Structure 1
């Protein structure tokens, strides 16, 4: 990460200098212009501190979320409002570079102010600005008894990041209000330690579904991102977390399957441990999970990381009808307007938010219930997904 420090600082300074042109047009001098550059010095100092202190230290844990929030609060409004300055400069190029128009600089600052408010909302209220997202998916071989079957999916709780009980309960009440047949959770209950869930157990135990609640583990649940005093302590943490799933009423699926029956017909839930591309551990074993499942069974797979779908599930000899994943959080930053969605995470994950389909096999990637690192969500709001299964006529 230290190697990226010069690039981070360079991006910050380049956008800062360009945006400064609009400020100078409106106010050639003033003490507040010096304050503008003081923000740069604080950002550089904070970034250097995060890089240089011991990884996982208390000061790093405190600084990183604040640094991320402050950077977005300052960088996003400048970066996108500068498009107005860029358009003006293109026209100035053909007009002999006359002085900047005051109204263009005013428009730039007004746009930046609006974007500032959007980011500020995301950092202060966005973490519990839950949205219901609904999908109806049709299958020709769905058992008739399950026509209209409803699933509420949540994922990426990251309970160690929560502080607002009322905010969390708001989301859980929204889950219960859907009255779905089952509730499925697709991993990352905690950031690192099972104890993070202690204060939230009663609230999550209050989730209700007539045909049960089922879950899998995510990459953060294994405790791989912190230093443990002994290997035994890490193992004990994972054992405790598995027990927590039981205490909140979820049946944890560890490379195994379970059958749901209704009116003499059935569908199968498969659950695998975390499997991810790149540097993520590949604990999950779909072959093991589906070992005793008939080939013609209707299958729904819970797999935390969406990269598992394209890398493993699509090529599996058994037809997995629907896969439910999370993991990406939609990077907790982006936009979804007029049918267009964008987030920087799309350059890392091909399937990163919403519904995907390939040859009759579907993947739904949930944007996440909680938050991690950045203490907020900007544009990529926390999600409760409601999926209805429909039998094709």
Structure 2
């Protein structure tokens, strides 16, 4: 980002934050009217602006630091946690205040037309509305607190059974455990990591696959956790692919050679993990004299680079073979995979994390990420070809998960 762009961005953050602080302050003023002593009322008002004005200054300072270093540290991650928590909480509060303002303006218009300008007084805010606004806003506030403390390691197993007419008979009932987006550099507690590993191993699947973003930026992030992840074993092997974060593209390097050495080290880490890395290639999984083809491509995603080469990965395969593709970004399925003449029966992806924030219930399923990715979590299909998007094992940038929990996927293949 150039200097002008960075300046405009920082000003936008400052104005946005100031607007939110001012609007929520209207509820604070209304509620503080119940304090009989003016001195204490003023103390509440000053305290509010010291706290939230200070947070706004912190925003600017940290965003400047990020723009200079280009890297997320523990302090910048903490800032992002606070930023998201405060902004979402304030926006929920403002929804009620804004609705009241619409009503107050309508009411004021009616009073003015009825009584004229003499003795006209603009309707004041209702205390009960401010109470409701603040009370409801506490729901996302405590949701974010829970997500940062516990939600980010609240692992869930999602199971799907998918039926195919042309699945080889030997693979009827074959199971695959998938994890994605470990982002191991975000983890600080090995026990939290082990909780997810144990859950993956408990599934006892025939095949294990990992669909990219092992690290945030640097290959050595995985070093303290090699022994833990290397214990994941499956009867028909462990396979992995590369995600967009694994290339080290998002931080500055002292030289081109340093970045290349980091990537070479990253490739070697997969050997230490016991994962066979598929780089635009395929392997045949044999069982009882029959086989299916497992394809793996490098990262291919709209807006995230197109290093993946599906045609190369499919070399040597035929249209009548049953194929499973590992491709990190689900936009690859939308843009290229699902219309391939050489049918790819099932694609396993990750990447979206479900934005680590949203609502998933039997009635409501929503996350902000859906406005970027139409297929952002779970199973979808097109003309008998399936895509499953894993919600991610880890977390990145925002150090938490709210409503979209870390996932272990188990896919069972069945023959129709």
Q: Shorter chain as normaliser: what TM range?
A: over 0.9
Give the structure 2 partner of residue 18 of structure 1.
23
Structure 2: unaligned runs, 5 residues or longer: 34-40, 109-121
1:274, CA displacement in angstroms? 0.8
1:264 aligns with 2:305: no
Asked if the contact 2:70/2:252 (under 8 Å) is kept, the reply is no
1:117, CA displacement in angstroms? 0.9
Alignment of 1:99-118 (within 5 A): 99-118=124-143
For 2:15 and 2:162, locate their aligned partners in 1 and report how far apart those are by CA, in whole Å.
46
1:338 aligns with 2:343: no
Give the structure 2 partner of residue 183 of structure 1.
208
1:234 aligns with 2:259: yes
1:207, CA displacement in angstroms? 1.0
**CA deviation vs aligned residue, 1:125-150 (integer Å, no higher than 9, x gap):** 12111111122211111112212211
1:58, CA displacement in angstroms? 8.7
1:132 aligns with 2:157: yes
SS of the residue 1:44 aligns to: helix
**CA deviation vs aligned residue, 1:205-264 (integer Å, no higher than 9, x gap):** 111211111100111111222222333322222222111111111111111111112222
For 1:151 and 1:223, locate their aligned partners in 2 and report how far apart those are by CA, in whole Å.
29
Asked if the contact 1:50/1:64 (under 8 Å) is kept, the reply is yes
1:327, CA displacement in angstroms? 1.0
SS of the residue 1:304 aligns to: coil
Using the size of structure 1 for normalisation, the TM-score is 0.93
1:377, CA displacement in angstroms? 1.4
2:48 to 16, 36, 39: 36
Using the size of structure 2 for normalisation, the TM-score is 0.88
Structure 1: unaligned runs, 5 residues or longer: none
For 1:56 and 1:386, locate their aligned partners in 2 and report how far apart those are by CA, in whole Å.
42
Mark the CA change 1:56 to 1:284 in structure 2 (over 3 Å): closer, same or farther.
farther
SS of the residue 2:73 aligns to: helix
Bigger drift between 91-100 and 344-353 goes to: 91-100
1:296 aligns with 2:311: no
Asked if the contact 2:213/2:246 (under 8 Å) is kept, the reply is yes
Quote the RMSD (CA, aligned, Å). 2.0
SS of the residue 1:53 aligns to: helix
For 1:42 and 1:68, locate their aligned partners in 2 and report how far apart those are by CA, in whole Å.
15
1:389, CA displacement in angstroms? 1.4
1:93, CA displacement in angstroms? 4.2
Asked if the contact 2:92/2:133 (under 8 Å) is kept, the reply is no
1:60, CA displacement in angstroms? 5.7
Mark the CA change 1:336 to 1:8 in structure 2 (over 3 Å): closer, same or farther.
farther
Give the structure 1 partner of residue 83 of structure 2.
71
